[in-house]
Chains A and B, each alone.
Chain A
Amino acid sequence: MDAIMLQEKLVERLLCPRVRTAKQKEKQYVGFATLPNQVHRKSVKKGFDFTLMVAGESGMGKSTLVNSLFLTDLYKDRKLLNAEERINQTVEIIKHTVDIEEKGVKLKLTIVDTPGFGDAVNNNECWKPITDYIDQQFEQYFRDESGLNRKNIQDNRVHCCIYFIPPFGHGLRPVDVEFMKALHEKVNIIPLIAKADCLTPTEIKKLKDRIREEIDKFGIKVYQFPECDSDEDEEFKQLDKELKECTPFAVIGSNTVVEARGQRVRGRLYPWGIVEVENQSHCDFVKLRNMLIRSHMHDLKDVTCDVHYENYRAQCIQEMTSKLAQDNRMESPIPILPLSTPDVDTEKLIKMKDEELKRMQEMLTKMQQQMHDKD
């Protein structure tokens, strides 16, 4: 209970401006200390948007978790395929959009679902449709941003991808590793351990350690929580540290409400007990929700814009300019910046000629030596 209260206090602090001290009152008061307030008002009026991608094998509890996170039911008319139909299934991309409002703040939430991932017998490159989709969104934003009329740009870029790791194994499987490596430079990845109610606490710890080790070993760049400022108080720092040590989060989802300890909570009813989704000693659902929605949503968006999108943009521009230089075409949709990098071909030619010259010089010196000896 304490942890939750603390977090709420801190969130309030972020939203409200700092109280002016008596000393500051004595100085000349210009008034730009109300800027955070203004930003806050404007953003609340504009509303926020957030695009979340969920990926993982079928039956891992993705839909249940999304419903639990946002307290909605996004998957009312879902058709699940049989095992036979899934033998050769390809991955689809399905978008669900929902508008949620809480305390006057509007959020336009888009969930990008990836049914069919990892379900076929041959899963070679099953992540390709997903990477293509992410690139497409980047490309669309890039074109909009470079266009003439930039008033109503729709930001469909994927801000975060949560990946569900099955809890039945000993760690990451090859398909998990390949998927994350294909995506870690395009989107913020947050790995989760799904269906964590089949693991005892010791097993959870062991699996988390294993997964963290393997993520390091394979060089997968998952989303890193930003370091907290040095002027935050100790408790916040402690919370932040605990959060970081808890990754990957072991989560359980539930669409049903059960009665436990006299309260009605979301949970799963078993003959041997009741698993409560929001109980921190049962699973990390609360931590995930707080992290995703309450504290780091904006940071996720920032990292997407500043890092992943910029990488994509730089790559795109470089490809375009080098291609244009080769084709010698004058028209282009965007103004070309002068090439700072020298042309690769001429450099190669120069290098070749240099080498030839060197070789001829060597031959000459050798022959001179020979003649000298003979004389």
Chain B
Amino acid sequence: MVSKTVTQGFSFNILCIGETGIGKSTLINTLFNTRFENEEASHYEKDVLLRPHTYDLQESNVNLKLTIVHTVGFGDQINKEESYKPIVEYIDTQYETYLEEELKIKRSLCNFHDTRIHICLYFIAPNGHSLKSLDLVTMKKLDSKVNIIPVIAKADTVSRSELDRLKIKIMSELVSNGVQIYQFPTEDEAVAEINSSMNTHLPFAVVGSVEDVKVGNKMVKARLYPWGSVQVENENHCDFVKLREMLLRVNMEDLREQTHTRHYELYRRCKLEEMGFKDADPNSQSFSLQDTYEAKRKEFLRELQHQEEGMRQMFVNKVKETEAELKEKEKELHERFEQLKRLHHEEKKNLEEKRRELEEEMNAFNRRRVAAETLMGQALQGASQPLKKDKDKKK
């Protein structure tokens, strides 16, 4: 059976939640000793987004289909009340896909790519005092849906004494608020001892680095500071090795099992109950499912029709309204036109009158001119007449 599962390959899905720039991609790169491509995120995203990437890895004949999901823009918004919603939706969607596959008539679960999140790494910013309010709210929403392992990111900014205090404070806050984080299993004798000791070191304080630095005469992964170098794999410096052990080498299978048997079952039960399907009668299970499905479908279609009718009515009403408006406007325009016409008419009349008056004046003026001319003509004649008379007299 083991060889069969080996040839099938394993799938493992990790969800990383943390503020922008907190070191999620770097830690994953360090964990898997590869450089997965990842672009730097911006601080100005309006909403929280989730970006999944799937990679196929192989180590000593074991194939691993690794899916890493990062949150983008988490913690950047000014109002973070809705920040947890996209994350919860994503997790639920993966469960939904698996549920659909499970309920199919013809299903191929062995070849199915299981995208359910097996582990959620929650990156806590090392602010020195305790958890942030956003961290508490988010983890509370997720603890019943997915295995959570909180880690303290960028732990090279916390000194040893501060770190102990911080770990105690964080754990006590989680406990007092009823947040259930993943506990490493202690039933299996082989791993009980190491697991229980690891449980006391939660949350792990991690430092990530993919750069090699020369320390002594070896090249190790480290961060180089002017005052010293923080070696990632040195257990005195940080808990990276512990995280890797727990996550990958010891408990990976347990994580997958827990996801399937606890979280997924919880989701499935809630979802099926919603659909109106109860466990009471095991014989008629498949039938009632079909019936309820049909009933729901009919209801849904009826609602759609109803909505369509409503929209059509609204449209018709709107058209009527606009028609009425336009008609009124037309009337108004007509009236204005009439008014203008009348004004124009009046003006024209006035002008005509004036013209007539002018003409009369002109005529009067002409007559006077003619009269004046005739007078002048007469005057001239009169002037020449006496001359004639003189001539006659002289004769």
Contacts and interface: CB of A to CB of B under 8 A. Distances in A.
Query: Which among A89, A120, A178 has the greatest number of chain B C-beta atoms within 10 A?
Result: A120
A274 B228 CA distance: 8
Given A84-B133, A371-B351, A122 B154 contact: no
Contacts of A19: none
A200 interface: yes
B78 A123 contact: yes
B268 interface: no
B41 A170 contact: yes
A367 B236 CA distance: 97
B47 to A, nearest CB: 12
Interface stretch (B15-23, B87-95, B106-114): B15-23
Interface string B214-252: 000000000111111111000011000000000000000
Nearest to B136: A83
Contact of B127 (A58, A269, A370): A58
Given A166-B125, A197-B157, A121 B133 contact: yes
Contact of A200 (B131, B132, B135, B224): B224
Contacts of A57: 127
B133 to A, nearest CB: 4
Contacts of B173: 82-84
Interface string B72-112: 00001111110000000000000000000000000000000
Given A83-B173, A175-B78, A272 B230 contact: yes
Nearest to B139: A83
Interface residues of A, number: 49
Nearest to A60: B127
A219 B133 CA distance: 31
A3 B122 CA distance: 45
A14 B127 CA distance: 41
Interface stretch (A37-45, A140-148, A275-283): A275-283
A98 interface: no
Interface in B26-62: 40-44
B136 A58 contact: no
B133 A124 contact: no
Nearest to A126: B78
B132 A273 contact: no
Nearest to A196: B157
Given A84-B133, A120-B133, A122-B79, A271 B236 contact: yes
B227 A276 contact: yes
Given A171-B43, A371-B347, A84 B177 contact: yes
B382 interface: no
A48 B201 CA distance: 51
Given A169-B43, A276-B227, A59 B128 contact: yes
Contacts of B157: 167, 195, 197-198
A82 B136 CA distance: 10
Contact of A271 (B20, B23, B42, B237): B237
Contacts, number: 136
Contacts of B290: none
B133 A273 contact: no
Given A83-B133, A87-B133, A269 B19 contact: no
Contacts of A121: 79-81, 133-134, 137
A132 B170 CA distance: 34
Contacts of A86: 132-133
A246 interface: no
Contact of A275 (B20, B131, B153, B227): B227
Contacts of B344: 367, 370-371
B21 A272 contact: no
Contacts of A69: none
Contacts of B236: 271
Nearest to A260: B227
Contacts of A124: 78-79
A67 B352 CA distance: 98
A200 B156 CA distance: 11
A273 B157 CA distance: 12
B183 interface: no
Interface in B122-161: 125-137, 153-154, 156-157, 159-160
B228 A270 contact: yes
A262 interface: no
Interface in A36-71: 57-61
Nearest to A125: B78
Given A120-B133, A282-B226, A371-B348, A168 B78 contact: no
A200 B236 CA distance: 20
Contacts of A201: 225-226
B76 A173 contact: yes
Contacts of A173: 20, 43, 76
A84 B223 CA distance: 34
A171 B236 CA distance: 31
Contacts of A107: none
A18 B81 CA distance: 62
Given A172-B43, A272-B229, A275-B227, A82 B130 contact: yes
B78 A174 contact: yes
Contact of B21 (A170, A276, A370): A170
Contact of B132 (A119, A167, A170, A174): A119
A123 B177 contact: no
B130 A123 contact: no
Interface string A98-139: 000000000000000000000111111000000000000000
Contacts of B127: 57-60, 166
Interface in B335-361: 344, 347-348, 351
Contact of B125 (A61, A89, A168, A178): A168
Nearest to B343: A367
Nearest to B162: A268
B130 to A, nearest CB: 5
28 contacts: A59-B129, A59-B130, A82-B130, A83-B131, A83-B136, A120-B133, A121-B133, A122-B78, A122-B80, A122-B81, A123-B80, A124-B78, A168-B22, A168-B23, A168-B154, A170-B41, A172-B43, A195-B157, A197-B157, A197-B225, A200-B223, A271-B160, A272-B156, A272-B228, A272-B237, A275-B227, A371-B344, A371-B348
Interface of A: 57-61, 80, 82-84, 86-87, 89, 119-124, 166-175, 178, 195, 197-198, 200-201, 268-276, 281-282, 367, 370-371, 374
Given A83-B136, A86-B132, A270-B228, 14 more contacts: A59-B129, A80-B129, A84-B133, A168-B153, A172-B43, A173-B20, A173-B43, A270-B227, A272-B225, A272-B227, A275-B225, A275-B227, A276-B227, A282-B227
A-B complex: 4 closest residue pairs judged by Cβ atoms: A273-B228, A59-B127, A198-B157, A169-B21
